Structure 1
């Protein structure tokens, strides 16, 4: 069975024999009292990688978003991008329950945000814009520069879920390195450095480590740590997870660019093969490649036919929730011959579908 459902994009796995050993799995104390000795070092490495002054670690992005939106004061108003991933939305819902105004903005539409802010009757409230750093659904990065320009005069804050971009995109993109260098994520991709940006990212995708990070300015991260509720009431990330993150960052430093180049080449092979078969995909060089809807394409039937042919893909709803789509999740562990086999299966099953309609 060929599996195109894993989001471990760089193909990183962290078997215990490859990690530094640990004497205890957890310390039995909340993070507010003590954190594992290696946590601060890993956080500093992540902050530097992402292009931020400081970082702090959490067990998951849910912990971090829950805390962040529970800390926002009554002097803030939230502007939520319509395509934002559900976990960030759950944090926004907490803020809404506490009485903060929330308005949904069209996906990656900076002009729409500008118009809404100009018409707003709550001009004294600090705008907090929430979005994904990169959207696999439409295959586009967030318009970070435009968002920052819009919120600058009102002392706004841009909160990005950068889970998809971290480990994949980096600085200095070019034809030879379509994903760029370093894998630092959205700020590195856009060459942006701003104290008005907070990044919350899981390392469980490209880096394959079950841990999350909040990155931003010294002041914002320090304030977060001082007021965090989950740091008071929950344990810090396990020592095993911290060692997995350490292992991932070591591999990224030594081999990350080579893995990203291989990944980009595999994605290009998928795109070219599907295009020759009469399909187009969305996603650019991102490792999630989604077949664009066609009048003749029955996505559920295609997904089932591919499964019977030994190719596992992801069947999901489009961002608008009205159309079913089929996506291939490519990892650096896939081999070119597996890509060729998958494309051939798409071509054969789609041909069968068309014959049935005749």
Structure 2
């Protein structure tokens, strides 16, 4: 079975054999009393990777955004949420709303809509505007207009909050035609060239870097305030020492082999898209490793998913938020071989054309040497 359901984009697994040993998984105290060994160092390295001043580790992005929006409620903020922001962020926003906080939704990736809503608020109530978005949206295949969002909130003295879970470890600085992901893996801030004390980034390492832990990165002042206000750092367990050691290992691999893995990943994603294009199929996702078929949806997607499974191909069958129409997605990782990508395309041809061969298809995999 060839698996196209894993979001471990760089293919990092972090076997126990390659991690530094630990004497105990937990200190038995919350992070508010004592940080687990290595937590502060790893958080600082992750913050620097993303272009931020300081960071703090949390067990998950749910813990992170729950506490972040709890802190912002105390500061009399008004939230402006991109309409397609990921579910976990929205759960934190709902907690903010349940407390009586003011929440506004603006059109996906539409800076003009954000500006209009903030302007309407500024005429009446004087509140601290906070714009919220995903750094990269796999559902539409585009990065958020981070620079434009930042310019707007900066004009009003506000804050930009980004969930960079998809991009961390994948995107980086200096993207180019031959290097679409850029270098370094620092995420959307590095990729867009944005920075400043009025940006805070919450990210899980569970996708690009392969570690189930989250980091909040921003200015030193904001992170200090977050630590003082955080409820989960008082009432919940911090990340385990084992997870922190895995994050340390992920950073080490990212420094030594990350750019090579990203280049391999870009080649596999391009091979997949080119193979589908030769069959007359298109995907949502562009050069990103999440590829969603455009032409096959609804009951056809369900049937295709079942047939592919019988043929040895695991794909993702999902329904976008607010839609009842099923879509078929393929998640590419750096562990996929050129042969596996070709095999997947052949099986798709079988499903679509009822034959193991598709017409006018001429793939060239000999150039995919990584």
Q: Under a length normalisation based on structure 1, what TM-score does the superposition of the two structures give?
A: 0.96
* 1:151-179 deviation per Cα after TM superposition (whole angstroms, max 9, x unaligned): 12221111111000000000011122111
Aligned-residue offset at 1:119: 2.5
Query: How do 1:304-343 and structure 2 match up within 5 A?
Result: 304-343=306-345
In the other structure, the counterpart of 1:274 is 276
| Separation in structure 2 between the aligned mates of residue 94 and residue 122 of structure 1, nearest angstrom | 24
Aligned-residue offset at 1:322: 3.4
In the other structure, the counterpart of 2:6 is 6
In the other structure, the counterpart of 2:89 is 88
* 1:100-159 deviation per Cα after TM superposition (whole angstroms, max 9, x unaligned): 111111111111111222233544111111110000000000111111111122211111
| Separation in structure 2 between the aligned mates of residue 243 and residue 33 of structure 1, nearest angstrom | 20
Secondary structure, in 3 states, of the residue corresponding to 1:102?
strand
Aligned-residue offset at 1:219: 0.5
| Separation in structure 1 between the aligned mates of residue 326 and residue 297 of structure 2, nearest angstrom | 12
Aligned length: 353
More off after superposition, 52-61 vs 322-331? 322-331
Query: How do 1:1-358 and structure 2 match up within 5 A?
Result: 1-72=1-72, 73=74, 75-120=76-121, 121-293=123-295, 298-352=300-354
- Consecutive unaligned residues in structure 2, runs of 5 or more: 356-370
Aligned-residue offset at 1:293: 3.4
| Separation in structure 2 between the aligned mates of residue 180 and residue 154 of structure 1, nearest angstrom | 31
Q: 1:343 and 1:214, CA in 2 relative to 1: closer, same or farther beyond 3 A?
A: same
In the other structure, the counterpart of 1:356 is none
CA-based RMSD: 1.5
Secondary structure, in 3 states, of the residue corresponding to 2:295?
coil
- Consecutive unaligned residues in structure 1, runs of 5 or more: 354-358
Secondary structure, in 3 states, of the residue corresponding to 2:185?
coil
Answer yes or no: is the 8 Å Cα contact 2:299–2:326 preserved in 1: no
Secondary structure, in 3 states, of the residue corresponding to 1:128?
strand
More off after superposition, 288-297 vs 321-330? 288-297
| Separation in structure 1 between the aligned mates of residue 142 and residue 186 of structure 2, nearest angstrom | 17
| Separation in structure 2 between the aligned mates of residue 30 and residue 296 of structure 1, nearest angstrom | 47
Q: Under a length normalisation based on structure 2, what TM-score does the superposition of the two structures give?
A: 0.93
